[in-house]
Structure 1
């Protein structure tokens, strides 16, 4: 496998700080290229959301550098999934305790994917998303939100959810939940591209608009990837999105 990966983030129209944090770690090993991509959308008073998301990103960057080489000696994605689950639950406790000491509620979403050999593992908390772009755009993660739960129960339509004031209400958030149970997904890598994004990116554009710009055919190199993502970010801002806006795009060859 060969990967082209880019990340773009924008403070947006309203907020004074960018509480999103993104990470791409790309390496060459005996097992071929490996790539880790993580996106976190922080929440909290003052700059505490930024601190929460950055803390999680630093932890996973350190894991990639220091722990992953040992995992590759006897690769088992189930074991890695369990360790990521433990790391996030430990971070949930530590961020929560720090927030209480500062008298502020703070936390972050988490969506991370590791590509190794011909497999991937995804771990997810909150409403940042992972998509696959192949012959169409497919959402891979499940939003852990009030409105997603209501839609799945049939008590709310997607059209109602789009304008519902509770659309940003998270059911799970690292650092702001009493306990978390991350979603874990494993599978075989497909050709095309994978996109991670914060909710600020997707509120004001349609899936068809995303696919039109980020169809893998259009992603010929990093410059094209950056250009097409920035085009969508500017479109989102022009439609008066109030949140921070972040995207990671990984093309698989």
Structure 2
């Protein structure tokens, strides 16, 4: 499998710092195939030093991708990698929390990460950033770990009610601000001409799924230039609709 990728982050219209951090990388393997990793971390908007938390997590996973993953590529085991990723997050959760206590500050971050090897994907997820899969249609591969999503799942709230609920940004867990993190894990398969879209909540709050699909479906994204141009068009659309948060989107497309 081979991949093309792009990523754009924007501070938005009201924040003084960009607390989003992103990792999008494609690497060559010995057998001339490619592997890809994508991670979105959204530093907690209401907490101090969210950008420190998100950047710390991204740096650790970039080191893992460069130094640890190559050792396992001869015998890839996605379940074992999932276990490794979860442990990394648990270690980072403790490290960031201890740093916050020492500095007397609160900080945390979401984590939505995907690893693509051959025709398989691994997703590990904490918080309310999202990963979408676009082929013949759009599918959300992660579930928002928020108060309102939990209430929807329990039948106590409708999606319409959730949109206007003042508690919609309350997370059930995040890395660095939860006593314990229990990431969501998904392992699946994909085909050529599939697009994976990773985004912070600031990107998708005011966009419809049909708009995301229109601009980012695999038939439209013919190369990196189009990926970047269409991503920027959507980001400008988001800003014009008065979204107040940082805005980040990353794209990975599988190609022949």
Q: Is the Cα–Cα contact under 8 Å of residues 19 and 47 in structure 1 kept in the other structure?
A: no
Q: Is the 8 A contact 1:71 1:80 kept in 2?
A: no
Per the normalisation by structure 1, the TM-score is 0.97
Q: Residues of 2 paired with 1:163 and 1:100: CA distance? A: 34
Structure 1 alignment gaps of length 5 or more: none
The 5-angstrom pairing of residues 58-97 of structure 1 reads 58-97=59-98
CA distance, structure 1, for counterparts of residue 45 and residue 3 of structure 2: 34
Question: CA contact under 8 A between 2:47 and 2:108: conserved in structure 1?
Answer: no
Deviations 1:93-146 (A, max 9, x none): 010111111111110000111111111111100000000011111100011110
Secondary structure of 2:242's aligned partner? coil
How far the C-alpha of 1:46 sits from its partner, in A, is 7.5
Aligned twin of 1:213: 215
- Paired position in structure 1 for 2:150: 149
Stretches of structure 2 lacking an aligned partner (at least 5 in a row): none
Contact 1:113–1:123 (CA under 8 A) maintained in structure 2: yes
Secondary structure in structure 2 of the residue aligned to 1:108: coil
Q: Per the alignment, in what secondary structure is the counterpart of residue 170 of structure 1?
A: coil
Preserved contact between residue 47 and residue 107 of structure 2 (Cα < 8 Å): no
Does the 8 Å CA contact 1:132/1:139 hold for their aligned counterparts? yes
Partner secondary structure for residue 241 of structure 1: coil
Cα distance in 2 between the residues matched to 1:143 and 1:51: 22
**1:1-253 map, 5 Å:** 1-31=1-31, 32-43=33-44, 48-190=49-191, 191-253=193-255
The number of residues matched between the two structures is 253
Q: Report if aligned partners of 1:17, 1:47 keep a CA contact under 8 Å in 2.
A: no
TM-score by length of 2: 0.96
The Cα RMSD (Å) is 1.2
Contact 1:44–1:107 (Cα < 8 Å) also in 2: no
- Structure 1 moving runs of 4+ over 4 Å: 44-47
1: CA distance, partners of 2:190 / 2:84 = 21
